[in-house]
Amino acid sequence: MRGATERPVVIGQAPALSGDLAVPAGARGVVAFAHGSGSGRLSPRNRMVAAYLNRAGMATLLLDLLSTEEEGDRERVFDIPLLAGRLALASSWLAEQPEAASLALGYFGASTGAGAALVAAAQPEAGVRAVVSRGGRPDLAGPALQAVTAPTLLIVGGEDRVVLDLNRQAQGQLRAPAELEVVPGATHLFEEPGALERVCELAAGWFDRHLGG
């Protein structure tokens, strides 16, 4: 188990996307995070998952898919094609970084970010090898679900009943290998004792299986 030194990065321009890239020694894959509505690269929940993945030997890219000005625009917060396009841009940027270019790519999406991650993963040139959704809205990917080829893990809290139902429906539309993991007693934000730790374990196991091999 090992950590990684994190460095700030800037991706693209107009708007430039702010991010934090961490690459542990001997990394076996790289995971780009797509945050949900009202959240960003400083989200404590996703930072906890990223740190866990780093210790498990995975590189991570935490990034803001919206600029500070855009975050207040409700339309942009829920603009899945826009968010997916920016995640794809970040993925192209990753492919040009010496420390990450050779690593298999995965996406970790939370809330609405899961819909964006799946839309981005559905693109033929995406090259995404695995997707994990935490309390996500994969249903927002719409018809793109059927074009996703990356193995997908859907993690939902057992008490997050509406989202759980939406995830079950989305799982039925995915043609790629897809598993649904329900964390008993957990609500949407996985704030219950041990709930987020379980998310970390599940995500690390999925990425190790599909990126690390």
Band the pLDDT of 3: cuts 50, 70, 90. Answer: low
pLDDT at position 1: 41
- Say which residue the tokens 């603009």 belong to: 79
Sorted by where each starts, the structural domains of the chain and their CATH numbers stand as 6-210 (3.40.50.1820)
Percentage of the chain exceeding pLDDT 90: 82
91: left (phi over 0), alpha (psi -120 to 50) or beta: alpha
pLDDT exceeds cutoff 80 at 164: yes
pLDDT exceeds cutoff 60 at 75: yes
pLDDT at position 113: 93
pLDDT exceeds cutoff 50 at 198: yes
List pLDDT tens digits, range 171-191.
999 999 999 999 999 999 999
pLDDT at position 70: 81
List pLDDT tens digits, range 26-72.
999 999 999 876 667 888 999 999 999 999 999 999 999 987 778 76
pTM of the model: 0.95
DSSP string, 1-69: -B---EEEEEESSSSPEEEEEE--TT---EEEEE--TT--TT-HHHHHHHHHHHHBT-EEEEE-SS-TT
